[in-house]
Amino acid sequence: MKKLVVLLTSALLLIIVLIAKAGSLQPYAYLPLVHNPPSTPTPIPTATPTKTPTPLPSTATPTPTKTASPTATQIQLADINIIFIMPEGNEYVEIRNDGNGSAQLLNWTLSDEANHVFTFPNFIIQPNQTCRIYTDENHPEWCGFNYASGSPIWNNDGDCGTLRNASNQQVDQYCY
């Protein structure tokens, strides 16, 4: 369509020029009438910056995640404490979980200065629970632990009980 308009306009201009040369019109130069519709701008794509995550330095300390109810391995070791040693009669040591989560006692140990060692079986001590480890008696109402020793362990004139976790780290010590 555009070519047809240009062609017709050029032909009209040629006719006008020929008539002007013949003398019937004043010699004027006419320019062709060309209709150029405004061009629609073509959008130019621009680069959109992308967010690149900034890596943390290798020395970054991870943020600890708190849980509502700690598992047995999350309890702090110092929460299990020796609270009493009865060195006479029915000898026993009392331990208590002063924490707010349970703790697995498997392979924890209780020992005295003479190295009499009691190794805990698979047992989960609950928050605020108190257990007794007897020298030679079985008391299920106190968790059922005993050394199964036929003779006294705890010295009447003073001794120290040491509680260690399964990694052999000292958790508590009670001396009298």
CA dist 148 and 146 (Å) reads 5
Categorize the per-residue pLDDT at 164 as very low, low, confident or very high, splitting at 50, 70 and 90: very high
Which residue from 82, 79, 120, 121 is spatially nearest to 100, judged by alpha carbons?
A: 79
Average pLDDT of span 47-71 = 51
**CA end-to-end distance (rounded Å), the chain:** 112
Tell me how far CA of residue 2 lies from CA of 14, 33, 36, 103, 117, in angstroms: 19, 12, 9, 89, 106
**Residue 154 pLDDT > 90, yes or no?**
yes
Residues 45-69 have a mean pLDDT of 52
Q: Answer yes or no: are the C-beta atoms of 20 and 12 closer than 8 Å.
A: no
Place of tokens 């959008």: 43
Q: In the chain, which segments carry CATH 2.60.40.1260?
A: 77-175
Could you tell me which CATH number the domain at 77-175 has?
Answer: 2.60.40.1260
pTM: 0.56
